[in-house]
Amino acid sequence: MHTVVVGTSGVTASDVLAVARGGARIELSAEAVAALAAAREIVDALAAKPDPVYGVSTGFGALATRHISQELRAQLQRNIVRSHAAGMGPRVEREVVRALMFLRLKTVCSGHTGVRPEVAQTMADVLNAGITPVVHEYGSLGCSGDLAPLSHCALTLMGEGDAEGPDGTVRPAGELLAEHGIQPVELREKEGLALLNGTDGMLGMLVMALADLDTLYKSADVTAALSLEALLGTDKVLAPELHAIRPHPGQGASAANMLAVLEGSQLTGHHQDDAPRVQDAYSVRCAPQVAGAGRDTLAHARLVAERELASAVDNPVVLPDGRVESNGNFHGAPVAYVLDFLAIAAADLGSIAERRTDRLLDKNRSHGLPPFLADDAGVDSGLMIAQYTQAALVSEMKRLAVPASADSIPSSAMQEDHVSMGWSAARKLRTAVDNLTRIIAIELYAATRAVELREGLTPAPATRAVIEAVRAAGVQGPGPDRFLAPDLAAADEFVRGGDLVTAVEKVTGPLR
């Protein structure tokens, strides 16, 4: 099994994916263990002094003015975890919780939190055992970290609350820890606060969304090319020299992908022989510009994620010179903004894909294709309602594109008077990514059927490879009306699993 070693300098996106989705094992480096021990010595020294230090010998948030005596500090740390584990609503997905815990461990191992090495090791042990704390949908405002979600994870480390075992059964966390020989932690000064004060949930969801969207943007280039081909459009607009004079990197990459898919097609430009069109519609002609802008948005979001993955997000933090200082690094604004930006870009990509699908189905704009790509129009409805489903998904995408980060709701008696709502931005982006997958799947379903209906004209080799692969995956081709939902579900799985990109790349080589 793949092993991820956590050191003091952060982790990579591939590390997060390996742990969250791949079940990779975690080890702490010797450097991290030494840094943990050194920072803990500083915290212990401060805890022994009479002067109050936030998070070590004081209350939290609006209660930070109270100095806590030594005999109450262990109780203080337990209490912050218990009281902050106040989430409600449906359970959050297992991969999100694993990413959340792993990224918190990443910050703990930086040596800036003052957590003892044994606490960090317990976090790794819980993940390695396949134990997943029960975390709920609602509870984070994305400031002072993803407090409620992280608190539910910390509660499991204490042997309290509920967690899911490796068999998928939810049971008391204490039972699961005991079965795997894991001793619950007894939290000491600062440790409770350090376990729940970070942007780890929103960051984990950002990393996973970036991975999913990377595949989806390639998939959208493929389906756009198939629709162009089915509509007898021209591929001249994809010429590299045209995109070189507007040098947005994403635009150039999308155009190159579409051109690679269309290489060798006998359908492109065919309309110029008998029914001249000066230009194709925007949804066809401007596909690289729209998808390309989204790709550039991905690049910016990836840069933010990389910076956050290299960060130590906690308050207060232990500095190399021995100071323990309060700060505002837990604020989720940098992550929240790009989560919202990605939802906007995804909504636009879904919107343009739906417009191409609608054009394929409209006999007045499809240049000779049968109405709704039906076998016997009137008797058969063809893909009429598949487009309705796609339109409903696009409408939902537009609602999901409303920024969460533009909102702020004060909390903690106005101490935390401006919050990021980054967790909410991440949650709606996950829904947007799911919907975008379905939208692209419906365009794929319509475009492959439309290409097959162009009898007498030979599609590109890459197109033929897609049609063969998608049919082998259980997505049926043209014919009389049938129960359509299973076909659409199979197309969705074909896109979601990356099979569409794989089928194309076997012909074109790696897409950009």
Kindly state the DSSP code that residue 377 receives in the 8-state scheme.
B
Kindly state the DSSP code that residue 136 receives in the 8-state scheme.
E
- Cα–Cα dist 299/316, whole Å: 31
Which residues touch 53 (CB under 8 Å, ≥6 apart)?
46, 47, 316, 324
Bridge partners (DSSP) listed for residue 324: 318
Give yes or no for a contact between 211 and 17, defined as CB atoms under 8 angstroms apart: yes
- Cα–Cα dist 81/73, whole Å: 13
Helix (H) or strand (E) holding 163: strand 162-164
Name the residue type at position 465. A
Pairing assessment for the beta strands 132-133 and 136-138 based on DSSP bridges? unpaired
Does the active-site annotation cover 337?
Answer: no
Bridge partners (DSSP) listed for residue 171: 163
Which residues touch 52 (CB under 8 Å, ≥6 apart)?
58, 67
Pairing assessment for the beta strands 324-325 and 317-318 based on DSSP bridges? antiparallel
Of 54, 217, 282, 337, which residue is the catalytic one? 54
Catalytic site positions: 54
